């Protein structure tokens, strides 16, 4: 194989596929990237047997071919080169990368042994703007659980029904839900997509409304096509939580407050929350809701903090405690200037939603306070 390619495009391509290469594996070849040159195209592929990614780019090909090389080392090399173009040659045993001032040689692995991405029949699919889907993922992904003992929550439910696309994520302590409805009928389907896949999509998807992503699923796998990149993933098997049953329908207390003011206050007061690293918990931040507004406070071995905030109240006064990280994650994801917060009791789930629409909601369990 002998090719020349644009360095920036190569860096971008390797950056896209590197996230789905295996880092700790008994199969060393999965730590590599499959590089294939043909028809004036360079295709980069990684696969950890759970998630795989392909990225295609233009290049000048003098001799077609394919090889596998350690992706981490290749990434380290090309990021330290400042040329506009690099040349890649591959012989029987060596991968050779040439820049204006240097030659870098790496051992290669047999491309025949590299697992290709699965090819499967798509049963249901839809095409949506990348910017819209990226916003939906951004507003929900922080609620995906990392607890491997409950694998069903290690992904988010992506559901299309009656022309409405919905993403829901739950981790046992909070729920995030984002909807998107357009005038066109979308194909109906539902699938639990691993959080790792959504995290990678978040890095690849653009903000350009004209760029689209095609999502295709069958019973076991999901396919995401966007621009020159493709991600293929297994779907998490099992029945997702009946999330509608945990969204509060009535409330005793309702407040309206400016989103940024509440976020800034939580971030300051949370500095005093003592963290228990073993349980991934912090001292609760207490929220006292009254006719005169809100008081956020926290007392720990670090010290204590208290802030007053303006808000409008409907219903009863209430005192309630929160894990501040859960509140901060949600508030950072909300773009609207004001939100509603609805409470029932000091130990009941709290509903957070926009004052403009109900396309985004967030439910969080409070913490008991002394």
Residue 208 scores a pLDDT above 60? yes
Q: What is the pLDDT of residue 357?
A: 84
Residue 250 scores a pLDDT above 80? yes
Q: What is the pLDDT of residue 281?
A: 56
Tens digit of pLDDT for each residue in 98-146?
999 899 999 999 999 999 888 888 888 889 999 999 999 999 999 999 9
With residue 243 as reference, give the H or E element that holds it: none
**Most confident of the following: 104-108, 200-204, 279-283:** 104-108
Q: What is the pLDDT of residue 94?
A: 95
Q: Return the minimum-mean-pLDDT range out of 252-261, 278-287, 294-303, 313-322.
A: 278-287
Structural domain including 341 reads 247-364
Tens digit of pLDDT for each residue in 38-53?
999 999 999 988 899 9
Residues 232 and 316 grouped into a single domain: no
Residue 246 pLDDT level (bands cut at 50, 70, 90): very high
Question: Does 323 fall in a domain?
Answer: yes
Q: Report the C-alpha gap between 232 and 215 in whole angstroms.
A: 10
DSSP-derived secondary structure letter, 134 = H
Residue 20 scores a pLDDT above 90? no
CATH number of the domain encompassing residue 278: 3.10.150.10
Q: Left if phi > 0, otherwise alpha if psi is -120 to 50, otherwise beta: which for 356?
A: alpha
- Last residue within a domain, chosen from 63, 88, 113: 113
> Who's near 291: CB < 8 A, 6+ residues apart?
313, 317
Q: Is the dihedral of CA 189, 210, 169, 49 positive or negative?
A: positive
Q: Report the C-alpha gap between 18 and 68 in whole angstroms.
A: 13
Question: Does 326 fall in a domain?
Answer: yes
In this structure, are strands 85-90 and 155-161 parallel, antiparallel, or unpaired?
unpaired
Q: Report the C-alpha gap between 191 and 207 in whole angstroms.
A: 24
Tens digit of pLDDT for each residue in 149-193?
899 999 999 999 888 999 999 999 999 999 998 756 667 889 999
Whether residue 183 contacts residue 172, with contact meaning beta carbons closer than 8 Å, is answered with no
DSSP-derived secondary structure letter, 238 = S
Q: What is the pLDDT of residue 129?
A: 93
Q: What is the mean pLDDT of residues 249-270?
A: 96
Question: Does 314 fall in a domain?
Answer: yes
| Percent of the chain predicted with pLDDT > 70 | 96
DSSP-derived secondary structure letter, 250 = -
Q: Report the C-alpha gap between 49 and 200 in whole angstroms.
A: 16
What's the token pair of residue 42? 């360079």
Q: Which residues pair with 46 in a beta bridge?
A: 53
- Last residue within a domain, chosen from 58, 86, 113: 113
Indicate the SS3 state at residue 119. coil
Residue 275 pLDDT level (bands cut at 50, 70, 90): low
How many domains is the chain built from?
3
Q: Report the C-alpha gap between 202 and 137 in whole angstroms.
A: 7
What's the token pair of residue 340? 């509603």
Residues 238 and 189 grouped into a single domain: yes
Tens digit of pLDDT for each residue in 54-102?
999 999 999 999 999 999 999 999 999 988 999 999 998 899 999 998 9
Angle at CA of residue 215, ends 210 and 221, nearest 5°: 160
């Amino acid at each position: 194989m002998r090719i020349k390619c644009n360095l920036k495009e190569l860096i971008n391509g390797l950056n896209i596929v590197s996230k789905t290469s295996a880092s700790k594996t008994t199969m060393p070849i999965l730590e590599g990237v499959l590089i294939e040159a043909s028809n004036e195209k360079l295709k980069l592929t990684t696969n950890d047997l759970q998630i795989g990614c392909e990225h295609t780019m233009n290049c000048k090909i003098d001799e077609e071919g394919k090889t596998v090389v350690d992706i981490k080392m290749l990434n380290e090399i090309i990021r330290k080169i400042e040329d506009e173009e690099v040349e890649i040659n591959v012989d029987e045993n060596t991968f050779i990368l040439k820049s204006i001032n240097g030659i870098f040689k790496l051992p290669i692995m047999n491309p025949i042994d590299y697992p290709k991405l699965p090819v499967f029949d798509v049963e249901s699919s839809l095409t949506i703007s990348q910017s819209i889907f990226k916003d939906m993922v951004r507003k929900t992904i922080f609620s995906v659980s990392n607890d491997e003992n409950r694998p069903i929550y290690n992904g988010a439910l992506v559901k299309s029904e009656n022309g409405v696309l919905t993403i829901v994520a739950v981790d046992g302590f909070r729920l995030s839900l984002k909807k998107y409805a357009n005038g066109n009928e979308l194909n109906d389907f539902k699938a639990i997509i691993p959080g790792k896949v959504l995290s990678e999509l978040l890095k690849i998807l653009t903000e350009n409304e004209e760029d689209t992503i095609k999502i295709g699923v069958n019973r076991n796998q999901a396919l995401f096509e966007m621009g020159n990149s493709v991600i293929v993933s297994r779907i998490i098997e099992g029945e997702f939580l009946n999330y509608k049953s945990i969204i509060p329908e009535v409330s005793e207390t309702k407040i309206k407050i400016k989103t940024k003011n509440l976020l800034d206050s939580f971030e300051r007061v949370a500095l005093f929350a003592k963290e228990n690293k073993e349980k991934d918990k912090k001292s609760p931040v207490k929220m006292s809701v009254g006719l005169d507004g809100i008081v956020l406070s926290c007392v720990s071995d670090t010290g204590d903090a208290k802030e007053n905030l303006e808000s409008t109240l409907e219903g009863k006064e209430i005192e309630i405690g929160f894990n501040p990280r859960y509140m901060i994650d949600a508030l950072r994801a909300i773009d609207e200037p004001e939100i509603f917060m609805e409470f029932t009791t000091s130990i009941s789930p709290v509903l957070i939603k926009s004052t403009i629409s109900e396309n985004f909601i967030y439910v969080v369990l409070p913490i008991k306070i002394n």
